[in-house]
Chains A and B, each alone.
Chain A
Amino acid sequence: MQREDKTGGLKVKADKSAASSAIFDFNREVVIDIEHMDLYYTAFHAIKDVSMKVKRNEVTAFIGPSGCGKSTLIKSLNRMNDLIPGCRITGKIEIGGQDIYAPGVDLPILRKNVGMVFQKPNPFPKSVYDNVAYAPRMFGIRDKATLDHIVESSLRRAAMWDELKDRLNKSALGLSGGQQQRLCIARSLAADPSVLLMDEPTSALDPISTGKIEELCDELKKTVTVVIVTHNMQQAARISDKTAFFLLGKVIEFDETAKMFSNPTHPETERYISGRFG
């Protein structure tokens, strides 16, 4: 069953027969609720007893030195880690009120609601239009006018309609790196996610493209809850409402970004963000 919402993206409700438990409620205040989560890669204990509540329409930044578990955690939020052999998770992750690791959760529906953008832009080797229309088509939309509307509104939400409206049938691979990354964001938005995960989305981009994506985050949070992993401390300070500092698989501090960067509670946070280690 599908319907289109006012943002133009695709709205899909889980088919009851396919995934009876996957009815997400994104109107609640806490959209992501992680409780006592541990993650192991075979014997390696990568995430240790993490608990965290992410609120609706906020941008939350994950920071910390390499190998601290921040990317592992963000990938757990739409079950990308399922693909890694030996990965085992205990504890609970609820998104939109749903335990996403409960039996019967439909992964395409989860990933439609919890979109993801990666470090390296990864558009499909297709046209701009086909990239953005990919998810709606996957969920069964065939009507050209509906697809056109979703593509336009998604590109507008990613602030690139004006740049690309005359190049919709050109290959996405011909775009610049920054445009490709924003196209990937538009492609995620076309599925009308309620949560957008971004794993170092600007680390391969020039400052102007980075600035555009940062501004986009500010705009996106009006309709989407954003979680972003970044190694750029100033970026976390600029764009996020809350910041979580990870170290050796643990959340050392999770607080308002302004507080974290002006007066952190934990000495380890202070040492990391001020460049004393890491």
Chain B
Amino acid sequence: MRSHYLQQLSELEELIGKMGGLIVNGFDEVAASLIKPNGNFVKDAANVEQRTDRKLDEIERLCSLLLLTQQPVASDMRFIVSVMNVVVDMERIGDQIRDIAETASKCRVMPNEKEIATMCECCSVMIKGAWDAYIGRDVEGARRVEARDDKVDEAFDSLKIKLSERIRTDDDTEDILNCLMIGKYLERIGDHATNIAEWTNYVVTGKRDESQ
């Protein structure tokens, strides 16, 4: 019964799993490098970004083929629509992992604000949580991810206040701006993880959030 179709859907699940693994590990590595940079962290992050891009192409091609040849409906349709959106958020996370590494590599002193540490910790939990929720069709898990995004936003607000103070007193303006950029990338990663979580709701219920 449509065995080829079911096989293609399994392939899609597998591809999306691999892309998720890339960003989960890639983020943890770049977050660790902010505390203790190894010599290769910029190259490693660029590699994550390139591999994520390649997976995006592969997944988009398979989604287009499924839409063209199988006309999916019901939960299959919801899954494929969600994949086509989720991969964009994942690809953006891949870009931001690279951006964080490149920005950090320009810092004379790695940013050591506690807000950056808080955001890294939250984003790591959020990416993993969003991923587990999406793959496991876990609406409750997705809700926990969405709730955690507030913490990232609060930390970023606090970071901006702190850096605006520092910019008045410190001479190292470039490091301060780099720290601000890293904070902004982390804040965006939190948003992308939240989007992925919201697509979990759509796959399961047909609605992205409860207000719909």
**A contacts, CB < 8 Å to B:** 233-234, 237, 261-264, 269-270, 273-277
Contacts and interface: CB of A to CB of B under 8 A. Distances in A.
B74 A263 contact: yes
B73 interface: yes
Nearest to A270: B74
Interface in B1-55: 1-2, 5
Contacts of A276: 1-2
Given A233-B73, A234-B71, A274-B75, A263 B206 contact: yes
Interface string B51-76: 00000000000000000001111111
B181 interface: no
B204 to A, nearest CB: 10
Nearest to A234: B71
Contacts of B75: 263, 270, 274
B177 interface: no
A274 B70 CA distance: 9
Contacts of A269: 74
Given A234-B71, A274-B72, A261 B77 contact: yes
B124 to A, nearest CB: 33
The binding surface of chain B is classed by DSSP as helix
B73 A237 contact: yes
Contacts of A263: 74-75, 78, 205-206
Contacts of B71: 233-234
A273 B74 contact: yes
Interface in B94-134: none
B74 A261 contact: yes
A270 B75 CA distance: 8
B8 to A, nearest CB: 12
A262 B5 contact: no
A264 B205 CA distance: 10
Which of A261, A269, A275, A277: most chain B Cβ within 10 A? A275
Contacts of A275: 1-2, 5, 70
21 contacts: A233-B71, A234-B71, A237-B73, A261-B73, A261-B74, A261-B77, A262-B206, A263-B74, A263-B78, A263-B205, A263-B206, A269-B74, A270-B74, A270-B75, A274-B72, A274-B73, A274-B74, A275-B2, A275-B70, A276-B1, A276-B2
Given A262-B78, A263-B78, A273 B73 contact: yes
B1 A262 contact: no
A169 to B, nearest CB: 43
Which of A233, A276, A277: most chain B Cβ within 10 A? A276
A70 B71 CA distance: 23
B74 A264 contact: yes
A234 to B, nearest CB: 5
B17 to A, nearest CB: 21
A55 to B, nearest CB: 23
